[in-house]
């Protein structure tokens, strides 16, 4: 038997008549209702399920046998009576009314037949044996579940979003298809299928954005006038940043990355002043230290004066407040701490009783752990001020974050000794930036999401899970460092004592939820007695 055209049909409100009310009719009715067809069942008796659907008002039921005239203005009819005489009359009438017919017990008289169906969300796999062996069709469908499991539903959904976006991003059809081809044939989809469900979308989006970016770079693509018109017009974006040199460097980096990803997008940087007088009139007095600049910039997001805030994740305490979200954690910079001296000594080579400048409890405690003889002096201000103070006050060294030095263009191996992350555990989120926006700002989400780096995000999430669980803040020497090797996330957490320099550490590895892994390490530290160190503020 041949000559079939497989079609996906949407029966929305189309009139369909089902003659017969047995178990086979019931199966057809179920399929029809799923497609929102306007169903009439004609049968003296019906199954329990059909009756319930009738009572619920989902279908019409004519409690009688088939009568000629039943197909009047009916485009589709299903006969499941099991009576050759009835089949014959139906076939004859359907030819006159141009009704397409399915006869459950006479494949050779069918205009169309129903396949066995496997659905994974919007992925629909159908199997048909052209009437030769419906049971085999059912078996093949069941076998297909092994290969096309649940995960496909998310993959299909995500590819759908990507494809929609690509129509805006990539005007040229060939280039667009090349991006799809790379995602689908070169392993990205296969890899996505091995990930936990909640990570699939993020993973594929990353791959997609990277392809879009590199394709544009390689071609040095220029928009033709027509392409420009086709491209969706995006509004101007305003990034909010603190005014320090480093903060501005970070904001400008984000600005540049976004402009590369979305040609023609206008982006301005607005400096948010962090003066005490502005703060006082907004009842922010209770938020101390680091949280202060973050809060102010978040307020600018809330009142709409900026669209995007660029934070150093190290400065962001706890979760985003309700109404805001950290939409992207870009690829993380070096997370290590650095000993800055005039001649690049390591901590071992420092003279006896070295004078070291730092105001961080975490750095102080760890310096004490390495060099119990060191004398810590407080030092504040931005990178430039601190380096100047080191010279003016003849300190032996100061402790700074590598990321800040690198971003500011100061890092120099001759003067700087970078600790390994294990010997000197970094602050939570050190070296990572966070892009925060209003939660309901769909357009900015779309624009900024391109910067999100899944690995960096997972690492930071683990570290923050750890910190939040300990309820640590900048007054307690807490540190954590997470890294990923062959998809496996490992986090090393630490709580230290400022006076003794004693460090308590714990670590855990896993592939599941990053935040939970951080919490696990925090729990372990609490069991080891971290609580007493945390209380001593």
Ligand X SMILES: C[C@@]1(CC(=O)O)c2cc3[nH]c(cc4nc(cc5[nH]c(cc(n2)[C@H]1CCC(=O)O)[C@@](C)(CC(=O)O)[C@@H]5CCC(=O)O)C(CC(=O)O)=C4CCC(=O)O)c(CCC(=O)O)c3CC(=O)O
Ligand Y SMILES: NC(=O)C1=CN([C@@H]2O[C@H](COP(=O)(O)OP(=O)(O)OC[C@H]3O[C@@H](n4cnc5c(N)ncnc54)[C@H](O)[C@@H]3O)[C@@H](O)[C@H]2O)C=CC1
Contact partners, residue 226, CB within 8 Å, separation at least 6: 171
# chain residues binding ligand Y, by CB under 6 A: 21
Contact partners, residue 16, CB within 8 Å, separation at least 6: 32, 37, 38, 39, 40, 74, 75, 76, 77, 78
Stretch 122-141: interaction string toward ligand Y, x if CB under 6 A: ------------x-------
Nearer Cβ to ligand X (118/390): 118
- The secondary structure of residue 352, as a DSSP letter, is S
- What token pair was written down for 296? 């102010």
Which does residue 102 bind out of ligand X, ligand Y, none, counting CB within 5 to 8 angstroms by kind?
A: ligand X
CA 177/CA 156 separation, integer angstroms: 16
Length of the chain: 537
CA 360/CA 530 separation, integer angstroms: 19
Query: Hey, which residues between 222 and 251 contact ligand Y (CB under 6 A)?
Result: none
417 touches ligand Y by CB under 6 A: no
Which of 104, 211, 237, 522 forms a contact with ligand Y (CB under 6 A)?
104
Nearer Cβ to ligand X (5/135): 135
Strands 488-496 and 478-485 come out as antiparallel
Nearer Cβ to ligand Y (59/495): 59
Q: Please give, one letter per residue, the 3-state secondary structure of 435-480.
A: EEEECCCHHHHHHHHHHCCHHHHHHHHHHHHHHHHHCCCCCCCEEE
Q: Closest-CB residue for ligand Y?
A: 22
509 touches ligand Y by CB under 6 A: no
Residue 11 CB, nearest approach to ligand X (Å)? 14
Contacts to ligand X by CB under 6 A? 27, 102, 104-105, 107, 110, 113-116, 128-135, 137-138, 141
Residue 86 CB, nearest approach to ligand X (Å)? 15
Stretch that binds ligand Y, among 23-31, 320-328, 425-433, 509-517 (CB under 6 A): 23-31
- What token pair was written down for 102? 């399915």
83 touches ligand Y by CB under 6 A: yes
Which does residue 107 bind out of ligand X, ligand Y, none, counting CB within 5 to 8 angstroms by kind?
A: ligand X
78 touches ligand Y by CB under 6 A: no
Which does residue 141 bind out of ligand X, ligand Y, none, counting CB within 5 to 8 angstroms by kind?
A: ligand X
Which of 11, 16, 39, 43 forms a contact with ligand Y (CB under 6 A)?
43
Q: 340 pairs with which residues across the strands?
A: 398, 416
Which of 11, 80, 361, 482 forms a contact with ligand Y (CB under 6 A)?
80
Residue 232 CB, nearest approach to ligand X (Å)? 42
Query: Hey, which residues between 485 and 504 contact ligand Y (CB under 6 A)?
Result: none
Instruction: State the helix-helix crossing angle for 245-261 and 383-392, rounded to 10 degrees.
Output: 150
Local structure of 504: helix, strand or coil: strand
CA 519/CA 454 separation, integer angstroms: 19
20 touches ligand Y by CB under 6 A: yes
Find tokens 């069991």 and name the residue.
Answer: 527
Strands 503-510 and 488-496 come out as antiparallel
CA 34/CA 130 separation, integer angstroms: 23
Nearer Cβ to ligand X (104/166): 104
CA 112/CA 509 separation, integer angstroms: 55
Stretch that binds ligand Y, among 21-29, 200-208, 375-383, 503-511 (CB under 6 A): 21-29
45 touches ligand Y by CB under 6 A: yes
CA 330/CA 378 separation, integer angstroms: 31
Which does residue 502 bind out of ligand X, ligand Y, none, counting CB within 5 to 8 angstroms by kind?
A: none
What are residue 536's phi and psi, to 5 degrees? -80, 85
Is 473 annotated in the active site?
no
Q: Please, are residues 382 and 244 in contact by the beta-carbon 8 Å criterion?
A: yes
Local structure of 339: helix, strand or coil: strand
Nearer Cβ to ligand Y (133/177): 133
Q: Please give, one letter per residue, the 3-state secondary structure of 224-292.
A: CHHHHHHCCCCCCEEEEECCCHHHHHHHHHHHHHHHHHCCCCCEEEEECCCCHHHHHCCCCCCCCCCHH
Residue 261 CB, nearest approach to ligand Y (Å)? 52
Nearer Cβ to ligand X (131/344): 131
Residue 27 CB, nearest approach to ligand X (Å)? 5
Nearer Cβ to ligand X (48/322): 48
24 touches ligand Y by CB under 6 A: yes
Active-site residue, selected from the candidate residues 315, 396, 441, 452: 315
Question: Active-site positions?
Answer: 315
List residues near ligand Y by CB under 6 A: 19-25, 42-45, 65-66, 80-83, 86, 104-105, 134
């Amino acid at each position: 038997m041949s000559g079939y055209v497989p079609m996906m049909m949407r029966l929305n409100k189309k009139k369909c008549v089902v003659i017969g009310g047995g178990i086979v009719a019931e199966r057809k009715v179920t399929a029809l209702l799923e497609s929102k067809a306007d169903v009439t069942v004609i049968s003296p008796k019906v199954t329990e399920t059909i009756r319930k659907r009738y009572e619920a008002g989902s279908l019409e039921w004519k409690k009688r046998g088939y009568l000629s005239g039943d197909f009047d203005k009916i485009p589709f009819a299903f006969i499941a009576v099991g009576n050759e005489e009835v089949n014959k009359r139906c076939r004859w009438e359907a030819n006159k009314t141009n009704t397409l017919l399915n006869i459950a017990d006479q494949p050779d008289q069918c205009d169309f037949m129903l396949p066995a169906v496997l659905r994974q969300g919007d992925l629909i796999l159908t199997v048909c044996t052209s009437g030769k062996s419906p049971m085999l069709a059912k078996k093949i469908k069941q076998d297909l579940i092994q290969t096309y499991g649940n995960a496909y539903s998310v993959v299909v959904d995500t590819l759908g979003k990507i494809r929609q976006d690509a129509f805006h991003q990539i005007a040229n059809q060939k280039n667009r298809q090349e991006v799809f081809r790379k995602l689908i044939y070169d392993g990205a989809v296969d890899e996505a299928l091995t990930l936990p469900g909640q990570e699939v979308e993020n993973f594929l989006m990353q791959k997609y954005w990277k392809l879009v970016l590199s394709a544009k770079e390689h071609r040095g693509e220029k928009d033709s006038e027509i392409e420009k018109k086709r491209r969706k017009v995006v509004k101007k974006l305003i990034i909010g940043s603190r005014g320090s040199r480093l903060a501005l460097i970070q904001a400008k980096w984000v600005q540049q990355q976004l402009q590369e990803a979305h040609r023609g997008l206008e982006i301005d940087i607005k400096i948010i002043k962090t003066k005490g007088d502005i703060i006082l009139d907004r009842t922010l007095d209770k938020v101390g230290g680091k949280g202060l600049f973050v809060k102010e910039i978040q307020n600018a997001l809330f009142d709409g004066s900026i669209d995007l805030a660029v934070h150093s994740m190290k400065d962001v305490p706890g979760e985003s407040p309700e109404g805001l979200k950290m939409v992207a954690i870009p690829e993380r910079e070096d997370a290590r701490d650095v000993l800055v001296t005039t001649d690049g000594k390591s901590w071992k080579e420092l003279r006896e009783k070295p004078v070291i400048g730092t105001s961080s409890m975490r750095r102080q405690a760890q310096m004490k752990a390495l060099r119990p003889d060191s004398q810590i002096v407080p030092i504040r201000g931005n990178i430039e001020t601190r380096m100047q103070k080191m010279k003016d006050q003849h300190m032996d060294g100061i402790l700074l974050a590598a990321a800040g030095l690198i971003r500011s263009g100061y890092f120099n191996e001759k003067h700087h000794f970078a600790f390994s992350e294990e010997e000197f555990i970094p602050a939570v989120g050190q070296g990572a930036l966070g892009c925060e926006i209003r939660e309901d700002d769909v357009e900015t989400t779309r624009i900024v999401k391109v910067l999100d780096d899944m690995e960096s995000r997972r690492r930071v999430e683990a570290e923050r899970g750890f910190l939040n669980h300990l309820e640590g803040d900048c007054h307690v020497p807490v540190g954590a460092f997470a890294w990923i090797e062959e998809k496996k996330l490992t986090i090393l957490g630490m709580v230290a004592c400022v006076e003794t320099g004693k460090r308590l550490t714990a670590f855990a590895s896993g592939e599941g939820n990053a935040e939970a892994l951080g919490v696990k390490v925090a729990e372990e530290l609490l069991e080891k007695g971290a609580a007493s160190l945390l209380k001593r503020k």
